[in-house]
Every structure is written in structure tokens, then in C-alpha cells.
């Protein structure tokens, strides 16, 4: 793992595509503008607004510990560390339409967790209730946990690249059957795990291809996913049909070894779809004339006693269909490009630094 490669994998992550979402044709204009346009950094004068409560979290039909995070928004441009204000020691519960109630426990830094056995149920609807320390009461609109169809097939196509660090790349697609008779909305994502040999890498001083490394003390997987990607899909124009060639991710051809990835298909409610649709439009702004003017995005949380209090974020509920898969990269005739890096092992071992980017727990399907 060197820095170049890190940058590269981030680039890859950023290339994961949405799918024909509502014929997002306005983006076509962008290309035309690209021909004769340039983009530069800009420092606008912005008036900061008061911090607003942000709800970030969702539940699914799979058992597990679910986390709801309560933060406050941060001025768009600020000189402080962002998102360090949390709603602490609130009382957070999830109730369902069958009278069930789950209390979430506070874990610090704005995080509220369910117990590890909590699981939603398709067909039920769920409400998130938040009582802040000062007594302000927030509630989400009931969020229906809709069923999700299975992923039928996963397949890849290979393309040789003419330039760059890589010989080629694989595009991974999947097909699924739209649920019959209902208006459905979907979201998908992927998580890639790689068993790492080294838990510590430092460049040696001799040259830039030379690294000092330390082995991991136990099994340690690096985690990669498409951070900040929004892959959503509505069946509006495809009702009850087979949805094919959904592009999930692109895999670098940097080794002949199988590439392990978990692919998840999630159900969304119409209101969640609309929320993410507008979010995706706004964060993908290209500045072109064909951009829609940005608007205030309304989430599904309200202050019960004061509807004018703007609450940000979304509390979601989804059913999940997950497929762990090893993508075969051995069928390509030409070998991948080799690397000239030299790793010199130090006679120590380093513990796996568990967090969002590393885990010591064996992934499902590994």
C-alpha cells in the first residue's frame, strides 16, 4: 500500500456510476460545456446559518447493531474541525406499527446503537423518536421497510486501458427482476475486502520504491467502498421488467488473484428515493447551465412541536439482499503490470487498526 495506490483506489471508487436514473439528461449539457470550459477553485462569501440537528442512520431486515448518529450541521466554510457538535445523551427509540419499541443506547460522539439482535421486518413501518436533553422532541415520518428482490446474476466485462497504471479493468454488473405490481425503488452498494499482509508501511529514505513494512499480528482485512456514492434506481420506466446491466463497480486488473466483493441491493421507499435523488443531483453539480438550481432538501424528521425548526438528514429502513463474490481475474491472456516496489520486512508485528478502513473480523462469504 503506497500513496500512489491509495489515490488510485480512491479515483476508482469515484468512478462508480449511477444508472440511467430518470434519464438524467441534464448532465449531457455538461459535456458540451467541458469542451470549452474550465473549472477553478473559488472562495465565495457565505453567510453561515445556525447549526441544525442532523439525523444519520438506517435499519434493515438483517440482524445487527444499527447506529443512529445525531450531529449538528457545520457552516459550509469554517475554520474549525467539522462535525464535532453532537446531540448527546438524548433518548432515542425506534417504534414500529405493531407496537414494538427498541431503546437505543448512547455510545458517545453522537452515536446511538441498537442491540446486536435487532432486525426490522419487511412490511412493517418504523418511526425514529428522539428526545433531546432539553426536552425537544423529534420524530421521523413512518418509514416502510419494503421487500427487496434477489440479485440474479453478477458478471463482468474486461476492457484494456491505453494509459495509466493499469493494464485493464473489469466492470461488474448485475441483473435482477423488478418486484411485480408495485412501484419500487432500489439502492445498491459494494464493499471490497482484501486480506492484508502488512499492517504498517513506511517509505524508506533510500528511494521512493523502497518501503519498510511490518506484518500484521493476526488476520486483517482492508475495507474499500464507494464513499459518498449514491446508486439509486426507480422502476418508473421499467415496471415489472428484468433490470439488467446494473453497473456496480470497476475492478483494477492489478493481479490475477480473485477479487472479493460484497454486493448489496437494498429497497428504498419513495420518499427515501426522492431524498437521495435530490442529494445526488446536488452533490454532482457540474456548474453547467443545465444544473437545476439547488434547493433545500427536506428529510423525514420533524420537530413535533415546531414545524419551522429545520431538521436535516434521513432515517431509512431497507431490506437487503447481499451477495459475496470472488471476481475471477485469471482469464486475461496478458499479465497485469508488475510493480517495482521493494518491501523490507521489519522483525515486528503490528495490530490490525480496526475502524472504517480495516477489520480483523472475517467478512461474510470470505
**Distance in Å, CB of 282 to another protein, minimum:** 7
Minimum CB distance to another protein, residue 210 (Å): 26
Please identify which residue in 23, 155, 326, 337 interacts with another protein, judged by CB under 8 A: 23
Contact between 181 and another protein per CB under 8 A: no
Chosen residue from 99, 150, 293, 347 binding another protein by CB under 8 A: 293
Selected from 277, 317, 318, 325, the binder of another protein by CB under 8 A is 277
Which residues between 49 and 108 bind another protein (CB under 8 A)?
49, 51-52, 54-56, 58, 71, 73-83
Please tell me whether residue 32 binds another protein under the rule CB under 8 A.
yes
**Alpha carbons 85 and 98: distance in angstroms, whole number:** 34
Stretch in the footprint of another protein (CB under 8 A) among 45-53, 127-135, 197-205, 340-348: 45-53
Q: Which stretch binds another protein (CB under 8 A): 191-199, 215-223, 280-288, 332-340?
A: 280-288
Nearest distance in Å: CB 2, another protein? 17
Q: How far is it, in rounded angstroms, from Cα 273 to Cα 84?
A: 28
Rounded Cα gap, residues 59 and 143, in angstroms: 10
Q: Does position 39 bind another protein by CB under 8 A?
A: yes
Residues 200-259 that bind another protein (CB under 8 A): 227-230, 237-239, 241-245, 247
Shortest distance in whole angstroms from residue 274 CB to another protein? 7
Kindly state the smallest distance separating residue 293's Cβ from another protein, in Å. Answer: 6
4 binding another protein? (CB under 8 A): no
> Are the C-beta atoms of residues 156 and 327 closer than 8 Å to each other?
yes
Q: Smallest distance from the beta carbon of 227 to another protein, in angstroms?
A: 5
Q: At which residue does the C-alpha cell 440511467 appear?
A: 20
Nearest to 202 by CA among 9, 355, 341, 340: 341
Task: Return d(Cα 343, Cα 66) in angstroms, integer.
Answer: 39
| Grid cell of 292 as nine digits | 437545476
Stretch that binds another protein, among 198-206, 311-319, 323-331, 339-347 (CB under 8 A): 311-319
Write out the E strands in 240-300. Answer: 242-252, 259-268
* DSSP string for residues in 219-240: --EEEEE-TT---EEE-TTTTT
| 136 forms part of the interface with another protein (CB under 8 A) | no
Q: How many residues does the chain have?
A: 366
Going by C-alpha positions, the residue among 311, 300, 243 that lies closest to residue 272 is 300
The answer to whether residue 340 forms part of the interface with another protein (CB under 8 A) is no
Do 259 and 330 meet the contact criterion of CB atoms below 8 Å apart? Answer: no
- Number of other residues whose CB lies within 10 A of the CB of residue 129: 18
Give CA–CA dist 252/164, Å, rounded: 11
Query: Binding residues for another protein, how many (CB under 8 A)?
Result: 95
Q: Is 8 in the site for another protein (CB under 8 A)?
A: no
Amino acid at each position: 500500500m503506497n500513496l500512489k495506490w491509495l489515490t488510485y483506489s480512491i479515483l476508482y471508487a469515484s468512478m462508480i456510476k449511477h444508472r440511467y436514473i430518470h434519464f438524467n439528461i441534464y448532465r449531457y449539457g455538461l459535456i458540451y460545456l467541458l469542451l470549452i470550459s474550465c473549472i477553478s477553485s473559488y472562495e465565495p462569501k457565505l453567510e453561515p446559518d445556525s447549526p441544525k440537528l442532523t439525523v444519520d442512520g438506517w435499519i434493515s431486515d438483517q440482524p445487527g447493531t444499527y447506529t443512529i448518529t445525531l450531529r449538528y450541521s457545520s457552516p459550509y466554510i469554517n475554520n474549525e474541525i467539522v462535525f464535532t457538535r453532537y446531540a448527546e445523551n438524548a433518548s432515542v427509540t425506534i417504534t414500529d406499527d405493531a407496537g414494538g419499541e427498541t431503546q437505543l443506547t448512547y455510545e458517545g460522539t453522537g452515536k446511538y446503537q441498537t442491540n446486536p439482535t435487532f432486525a426490522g421486518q419487511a412490511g412493517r413501518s418504523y418511526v425514529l423518536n428522539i428526545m433531546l436533553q432539553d426536552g425537544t422532541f423529534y420524530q421521523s415520518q413512518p418509514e416502510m421497510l419494503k421487500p427487496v428482490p434477489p440479485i440474479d446474476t453478477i458478471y463482468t466485462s474486461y476492457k484494456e486501458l491505453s494509459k495509466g497504471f493499469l493494464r485493464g479493468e473489469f466492470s461488474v454488473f448485475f441483473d435482477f427482476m423488478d418486484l411485480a405490481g408495485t412501484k419500487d425503488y432500489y439502492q445498491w452498494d459494494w464493499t471490497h475486502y482484501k486480506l492484508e499482509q502488512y499492517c504498517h508501511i513506511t517509505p524508506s529514505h533510500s528511494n521512493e520504491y523502497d518501503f519498510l513494512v511490518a506484518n500484521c499480528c493476526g488476520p486483517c482485512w482492508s475495507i474499500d467502498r464507494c464513499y459518498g456514492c449514491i446508486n439509486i434506481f426507480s422502476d418508473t420506466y421499467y415496471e415489472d421488467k428484468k433490470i439488467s446491466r446494473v453497473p456496480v463497480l470497476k475492478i483494477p486488473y492489478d493481479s490475477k488473484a480473485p477479487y472479493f466483493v460484497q454486493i448489496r441491493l437494498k429497497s428504498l421507499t419513495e420518499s427515501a428515493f426522492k431524498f437521495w435523488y435530490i442529494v445526488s443531483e446536488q452533490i454532482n453539480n457540474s456548474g453547467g447551465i443545465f444544473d437545476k438550481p439547488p434547493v433545500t432538501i427536506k428529510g423525514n424528521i420533524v420537530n413535533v412541536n415546531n414545524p419551522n425548526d429545520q431538521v436535516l438528514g434521513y432515517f431509512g429502513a431497507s431490506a437487503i439482499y447481499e451477495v459475496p463474490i470472488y471476481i475471477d481475474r485469471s482469464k486475461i491472456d496478458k499479465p497485469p503490470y508488475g510493480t517495482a516496489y521493494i518491501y523490507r520486512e521489519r522483525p515486528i508485528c503490528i495490530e490490525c487498526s480496526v475502524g472504517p478502513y480495516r477489520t480483523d473480523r472475517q467478512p461474510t462469504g470470505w
